[in-house]
């Protein structure tokens, strides 16, 4: 029997990370010592306090029952306190917070709450894949806003035609950016909020790398812009800040109507986040170990410096990214992104992600995730050098 997948599945571009997993498995089977900088999969573990909170909460049988759909009140209070302390934004714990099973889950499902066939979502590219895939799965169309290094990877909103703005239902921004490492300016956020208010577009801000910023330049929350709460929902995660990617814990805050719609979708899909994980996340957001996040940031910053300096010693001329976990760099002449990624894996065992994973405008680039210790990043650079990989303009 032949099973025909739905149009929504058939419309999706190939998931490059799944493809990468296959190639990695083949190399490993051959005994290769891989240095895996492919996925943005944090390797710095959470502090002991968070693990202890999880273990302690397992002892209570109540915590093993179905959680509440929208999140435990204590969790949502902790989120509200965290948002106030970290980003100076006020969110009402009861109406303006929803608990997610990782922020990717929330971002993709959010599209199902608002997108009808024919609706557009404005997505700067290159982009984290879920930013356009959610819209495709929900039957809408991503509308690409090209971004370039020259303009700080911020899209030019003035270039959006009035007919496009009229058809657009949502816009997704995300800074610090995966994959480019770019951060936004306050002025750009003000412009984005004004644009979305004028054209009645939902503004989604994916703030996954809120705490992964460098050189002391702390990014602001979109919700700190006056008037943003009229149009904006902001997605957060414990995955990157607290090294908890496997725990699947995230939350969204912002406009209550948008939060309510996401909650409505989720009541039809899942039973909320495991209570023990919520308890551990409360411990994360109220950590006694005050300098934990500073240490995480300093670790990634040091890795960034080693890796970028290393590439630059091989002919690249890359500026250091200002945030996120990634270094985004052009492939040498004579390669496309996929070919370069494959050759590098085959000849050195170093795994990058081809830039095309982040949309067609990622062609000509690759992304390295800084998820290996310093000595492994040094080793990656020396393997590239030994194999003769250099940037040639
Ligand atoms: C920009 C961005 N948003 C969201 C996510 C997903 O994070 P989570 O683990 O909360 O689903 C990622 C993961 O890499 C990301 O890069």
Residue closest by Cα to atom 6 of ligand 1: 104
* End-of-domain residue from the set 233, 263, 285: 285
- Looking at the structure, tell me whether residues 324 and 231 fall in a common domain: no
Distance 208 CA to ligand 1 centre (A): 6
Please identify, among 285, 312, 340, the residue that sits at the C-terminal boundary of a domain: 285
Q: Which atom of ligand 1 is nearest to the CA of 104?
A: 11
Residue of minimum CA distance from atom 13 in ligand 1: 40
Dihedral sign, Cα of residue 166, residue 254, residue 136, residue 355: positive
- Among residues 165, 166, 167, 145, the alpha carbon closest in space to that of 156 is found at 145
Residue 70 parent element (H or E) = none
pLDDT attached to residue 21: 80
Which of the listed residues 229, 256, 285 is the one where a domain comes to its end? 285
Closest CA relative to residue 354, chosen from 369, 375, 371: 369
Instruction: Find out whether the beta carbon of 180 lies less than 6 Å from any atom of ligand 1.
Output: no
> How far is the C-alpha of 389 from the C-alpha of 340, rounded, in Å?
10
3-class DSSP string for 145-208: EECCHHHCCCCCHHHCCHHHHHHEEEEEECCCCCCCCCCCCHHHHHHHHHHHHHHCCEEEEECC
More confident residue, 25 or 173: 173
Confidence of residue 11 (pLDDT cuts 50, 70, 90): confident
Residue nearest to atom 5 of ligand 1 (CA): 104
Residue nearest to atom 16 of ligand 1 (CA): 178
Of the residues 134, 178, 236, 273, which should be mutated to test ligand 1's pocket, given the most ligand atoms within 8 Å of the CB? 178
What are the pLDDT digits (tens) for 59-109?
A: 999 999 999 887 899 999 999 999 999 999 999 999 999 999 999 999 999
Ligand 1 atom nearest residue 107's Cα: 4
Q: Within a 10 A sphere around the Cβ of 332, how many other Cβ atoms? A: 15
**Please, which residues bridge with residue 78 across strands?**
none
Residue 375 lies in a domain: yes
Convert the pLDDT of each residue in 208-226 to its tens digit.
999 999 999 999 999 999 9
In ligand 1, the atom with minimum distance to the C-alpha of 248 is: 9
Residue 239 CA, ligand 1 centroid: distance in Å: 7
Q: Does the predicted TM-score (pTM) go above 0.85? A: yes
DSSP β-ladder status, 97-100 and 250-254: antiparallel
Same-domain status, 68 and 155: yes
pLDDT at 184: 98
CATH of the domain at 205: 3.40.640.10
Q: Domain limits at 36?
A: 7-45+291-386
- Rounded to the nearest angstrom, the distance between the alpha carbon of 118 and the centre of ligand 1 is 26
How many domains does the structure of the chain reveal? 2
The CA distance from 193 to 202, in Å, is 9
Hey, what are 376's tokens?
């492994």
Find the 237 Cα to ligand 1 centroid distance in Å.
Answer: 7
Could you tell me which residues are beta bridge partners of residue 326? 369
Distance in Å, CA 185 to ligand 1 centroid: 21
359 lines ligand 1 (CB under 6 A): no
pLDDT, position 376: 98
Per-residue pLDDT band at 379 (split at 50, 70, 90): very high
Q: Is 206 in the pocket of ligand 1 (CB under 6 A)?
A: yes
For the residues of 276-340, what is the DSSP string, one character each? HHHHHHHHHHT-S-TTHHHHHHHHHHHHHHHHHHHHHTTT--PPPPSBSSEEEEEPPTT--HHHH
Q: Which atom of ligand 1 is nearest to the CA of 239?
A: 9
**Do 188 and 39 belong together in one domain?**
no
Whether pLDDT at 322 is above 80: yes
Mean pLDDT of the chain: 95
Same domain, 13 and 135: no
Q: Which of 249, 252, 254 is nearest to 278 (CA)?
A: 249
């Amino acid at each position: 029997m032949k099973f025909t997948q739905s149009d929504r599945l058939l419309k999706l571009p190939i998931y490059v990370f799944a493809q990468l997993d296959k190639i990695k498995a083949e190399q490993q089977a051959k005994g290769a010592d891989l240095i895996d900088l492919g996925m943005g999969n944090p390797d710095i573990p959470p502090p002991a306090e968070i693990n202890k909170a999880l273990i302690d909460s397992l002892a209570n049988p109540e915590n093993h029952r179905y959680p509440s759909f929208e999140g435990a009140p204590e969790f949502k209070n902790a989120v509200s306190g965290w948002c106030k302390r970290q980003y100076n934004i006020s969110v009402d714990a009861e109406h303006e917070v929803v608990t997610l099973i990782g922020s990717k889950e929330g971002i993709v499902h959010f599209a199902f709450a608002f997108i009808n066939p024919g609706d557009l979502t404005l997505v700067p590219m290159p982009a984290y894949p879920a930013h356009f895939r959610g819209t495709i799965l929900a039957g809408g169309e991503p509308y690409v806003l090209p971004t370039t290094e020259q303009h700080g990877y911020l899209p030019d909103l003035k270039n959006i035609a009035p007919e496009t703005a009229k058809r657009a239902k949502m816009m997704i921004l995300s800074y610090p950016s995966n994959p480019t490492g770019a951060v936004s300016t306050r002025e750009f956020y003000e412009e984005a909020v004004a644009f979305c208010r004028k054209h009645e577009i939902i503004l989604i801000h994916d703030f996954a790398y809120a705490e992964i910023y460098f050189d002391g330049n702390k990014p602001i929350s979109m919700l700190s812009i006056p008037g943003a709460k009229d149009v904006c929902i902001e997605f957060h995660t414990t995955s990157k800040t607290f090294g908890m990617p496997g725990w699947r814990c995230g939350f969204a805050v912002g406009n209550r109507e948008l939060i309510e719609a996401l909650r409505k979708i989720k009541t039809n899909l899942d039973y909320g986040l495991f209570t023990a994980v919520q308890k551990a996340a409360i411990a994360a957001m109220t950590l006694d170990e005050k300098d934990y996040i500073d240490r995480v940031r300093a670790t990634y910053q040091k890795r960034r410096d080693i890796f970028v300096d290393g590439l630059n010693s091989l002919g690249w001329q890359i500026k250091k990214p200002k945030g996120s976990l990634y270094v985004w760099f052009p492939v040498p002449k004579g390669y496309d992104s996929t070919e370069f990624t494959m050759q590098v894996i085959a000849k050195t065992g170093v795994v990058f992600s081809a830039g095309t994973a982040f949309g067609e405008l990622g062609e000509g680039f690759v992304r390295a995730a800084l998820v290996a210790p310093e000595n492994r990043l040094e080793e990656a650079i020396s393997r590239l050098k030994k194999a003769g990989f250099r940037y040639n303009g």
